[in-house]
Amino acid sequence: MPFSLGQKIKELREAKKISGPELAKQIGISKGTLSFYENDKREPIFSTLKRLSGKLEVSAAYLFDQIPELVEKEPGMVAASEAFRLFAEGQPSATYKKLADLPEAPKTVEGWKAFHKLHRRASGKTE
């Protein structure tokens, strides 16, 4: 069963360990407005959705159920795969792709960068 827009926003925010007030401030809306979105009492306008998708590091297409392979995935898992997608753009990081499907996978681009740095150190590669 697909997740509602509000569920996606809330669960992505929680997976990334961002508080409601912090996210609201970062995208320029009130805490109450974010609460309405997360509880499916109101839908954000397109410009707000764009800011949300940017801060939550997911494609806006995911929020609109336009990526079939992500529709049924739990938002926390989408956070990991979308953060990986953004991290991997333009670099040959296919070796990490399988890791993006694990529950323990980093949920943010910064998390993937930190993981990559640790992996390089552990394998004896220099920065």
The structure's pTM equals: 0.76
At residue 86, the pLDDT reads 82
Mean pLDDT over 18-35 rounds to 97
At residue 87, the pLDDT reads 79
Where are the domains positioned within the chain?
5-68, 75-122
DSSP 60: H
Indicate the SS3 state at residue 21. Answer: helix
Q: Is 90 a residue whose pLDDT tops 70?
A: no
Phi, psi of 126 (to 5 degrees): -95, 160
At residue 68, the pLDDT reads 87
Q: Is 127 a residue whose pLDDT tops 60?
A: no
Measured CA distances, 125 to 11, 84, 91, 99, 115 (Å): 36, 21, 16, 20, 14
Domain 5-68: which CATH class? mainly alpha
Taking each continuous run of H as one helix and of E as one strand, the counts in the chain are 8, 0
pLDDT tens string 95-126: 677 777 788 888 888 888 888 888 778 777 66
Which residue did the predictor score with more confidence, 88 or 42?
42
Task: Give CA 96 to chain center in angstroms.
Answer: 17
At residue 91, the pLDDT reads 59
Q: Output the six-digit token pair for 33.
A: 């407005």
Grade residue 13 by pLDDT with cuts at 50, 70 and 90. Answer: very high
